[in-house]
Structure 1
Amino acid sequence: MNKIYFRLVYNRKKKLNKSGKALIQVEAYRNRKKVYISTGIYVNPKQWDNHHSRIIQHPHSEELNRMLEEFILQLQWEELKSWKRGVYINLSAFKTFNHQNDTEKMTFLLFGRNWVEHSLRKDTTKKNLLTTLDLLNHFRPSIEFEDITYTFLLDFEDFMRQRMYETNTIAKHMRQLRTFVNEAIKRGYIQPDEYPFRKYQIKTTQSKHSFLLPEEIRKLEKLELSSCPKSLMHSLKAFLFCCYTGIRYSDFVLLNESNIVTIKGEKWLIFKTVKTDTSNPQLSSSASFL
């Protein structure tokens, strides 16, 4: 039997949707015949590297590229299974690949990444969810829906403890895993009576927050670092700036000169917070640190 060749194709119809994005498809080619299979992933033209057939300049490019690789691997696996059975597989059979019974081809990790990509959650939330998926991938690279049991949860918790994760960090990942499980139940991949978190209790501890006294901050202000690398001075200024303004580090790293606005002769720091997406104007006596 002649081999089927698979490759990624972007915007085959040369048309963008209302969001300015186009579909990524897989082209299956054999004996001068082709069919195209939808991956369900859309990106805008600037986010596609046609030369290397990869997603670029996308906040989740690494995860999406992994999804595309796994998608092609699944197609190749279908071809390999037909070879082993001695059955000739028609290219047209791949056209319905995405419309077959998803429980037969969809893994838990692939489902998770696909759900995160198409969810309406904030980018920071998506990033946290993808971090949990990456951790699960390190724990067990191949996870089927039926693998998610009470014992699986205990083993995953033990895996994180062996990596010296703190109790609250483990709790964060378990809550995010629970989110994926709940979504899988809603979509019929896991039966409600097989809910693994029914008996599992997510453990937390009271966090201890340390803080600096005003006199300690003043000592940092006067700290002499002229003989040290400039990067240390930049780090110190960044830390003091966050202390003075009370902003999160995730907001600080996105600031630039356009966030400093002069109003009636006074400098104001105006920005939208990453976590809550709300505007946060404040009088910035520390604007000189930027």
Structure 2
Amino acid sequence: MLEKIRYRLVFNRQKKLNRQGTALVQVEAYLNQRKIYLKTNVYLKPECWSREGAQVINHPQSNELNAMLYEYILYLQGIELGYWKRGIPATLSLLKDAVKKKSAVNVSFSTFAKSAIDNSDKKQSTKDNLHSTLAVLHDFRSGLDFKDLTYTFLRDFEQYLREKGNAVNTIAKHMRQLRTLINEAINQGYMHADAYPFRKYKIKQEKGRHEFLTPDELKKLETVEVEEESMRHVLDAFLFCCYTGLRYSDFCQLTPENFIRVNGKRWLYFKSVKTGVEIRLPLHLLFESRALGILD
């Protein structure tokens, strides 16, 4: 039998009035011989509260305040019911945490995931990747709920990505992003750990193959005639990355402050976006100083 949380309204639990002569109305939530108290932001004078009826009396807005108090209890009950629907036994800790986060009563996985991404302290590039996967999920199945996230769903999503022409490693990337979001949902109590769909699902991946430009191919790029200025900038950026070995993400973050003179020679100092490692490159020693030619 499910142990439901019991709720009741209590007034002036601290037995102390504030300077205005009022005290707070709280909701007492009781479960398994434990209690927590949740504030309603309703303050009343003692003569405006009926302990027997647990309601506001003798107040010009008695009806409105009583309606607001009972709507708040309904909100709490809705949060509790939402946990049960997701197969998670509702606890006082989960309830208190949900109230603190101002959780919606019936939040979908899609809504949760977007909020989790936006409020995380992850790098912006990581957030962008997660949002990209979320957009693909929306195209596959909009209004995704937590109960939809099953092993069968993962197989169907994989098949959908394959039919859309995605490569094996692209599919693997989306699956890893989805796994990250599901793990966060479990950590925050939106899903039960027993419902973890990746328990039996294995993410398939192929060994990546790195392509390199030959000296002849690089020479052709260096000598190609480009009339449009914007395309010239793109080509210069690509060649600069070739000469220095920079990832595109590292190139995009460069500013004039990254170029330092050491003993009269220009060096490139930067921190890798992907690894966080600080790197120092002597530009005058790389590819016969060709990167410097682009800068100049």
TM-score range, shorter chain: 0.5 to 0.7
Q: Which residue of 1 aligns with 2:186?
A: 185
Partner SS, residue 257 of structure 2: helix
Structure 2 distance, partners of 1:123, 1:222, is 36
Question: Which residue does 1:69 correspond to in 2?
Answer: none
Asked if structure 2 preserves the Cα contact closer than 8 Å seen for 1:261 and 1:267, the reply is yes
Map of 2:204 onto structure 1: 203
Amino acid at match of 2:224: L
The DSSP-based 3-state class of the residue aligned with 1:105 is coil
Structure 1, gaps ≥5 residues long: 1-34, 37-87
Q: In the superposition, relative to structure 1, how do residues 96 and 250 fare at CA in structure 2: closer, same or farther (>3 Å)? A: farther
Compute the RMSD of aligned alpha carbons: 2.8
Q: For 1:96 and 1:271, how far apart are their aligned partners in 2? A: 54
Deviates more, 1:168-177 or 1:127-136: 127-136
SS at match of 2:175: helix
1:115 aligns with 2:120: no
- Structure 1 residues 265 and 138, CA gap change in structure 2 (3 angstroms): same
Describe the SS at the equivalent of 1:208: coil
Q: What are the superposed Cα offsets for residues 68-103 of structure 1, whole Å, 9 maximum, x if unpaired?
A: xxxxxxxxxxxxxxxxxxxx9749846995994464
- Pair 1:257-2:262 in alignment: no
Superposed counterparts of 1:152-167, under 5 Å: 152-167=153-168
Q: Work out the number of aligned pairs and report it.
A: 203
**TM-score, scaled relative to structure 1:** 0.62
Following TM superposition, by how much is the alpha carbon of 1:277 offset from its aligned partner in structure 2, in angstroms? Answer: 2.5
Opposite residue 289 of structure 1, the aligned amino acid is I
- The aligned counterpart of 1:237 is 236
Name the aligned partner's letter for residue 202 of structure 2.
Answer: Q
Provide the residue aligned with 1:268 in structure 2: 267
Taking only the aligned residue pairs, the percentage that are identical comes to 44
**TM-score by structure 2 length?**
0.61
SS class of match (1:261): strand
- Cα distance in structure 2, aligned partners of 1:278 and 1:254: 14
1:148 is matched with: 149
Query: 1:110, CA displacement in angstroms?
Result: 1.6
Which AA in structure 2 matches 1:287?
A: L
SS at match of 2:278: coil
Could you give the per-residue CA deviations for residues 213-240 of structure 1, whole angstroms, max 9, x where no partner exists? 1232123222233xx3122221211111
How many Å separate the matches in 1 of 2:144 and 2:124? 25
1:136 pairs with 2:137: yes
* Regions of 4+ moved over 6 Å: none
**Structure 2: unaligned runs, 5 residues or longer:** 1-39, 42-65, 84-104, 284-288
Per-residue deviation, 1:287: 3.3
Measured after TM superposition, the shift of residue 128 of structure 1 is 1.4
Structure 2 residue identity aligned to 1:248: R
SS of 2:270's equivalent? coil
Whole-angstrom CA distance in 2 between matches of 1:275 and 1:95: 47
- Residue deviations 1:209-267, cap 9 Å, x none? 22111232123222233xx3122221211111001111101111222322222222111
CA 90–233 in structure 1, closer or farther in 2 if over 3 Å, else same: same
* 1:269–1:287 contact (8 Å) kept in structure 2: no
In structure 2, the CA distance between the partners of 1:92 and 1:250, relative to structure 1 (3 Å rule), is farther
Q: Which amino acid aligns with 1:267?
A: R
Partner of 1:224: 225
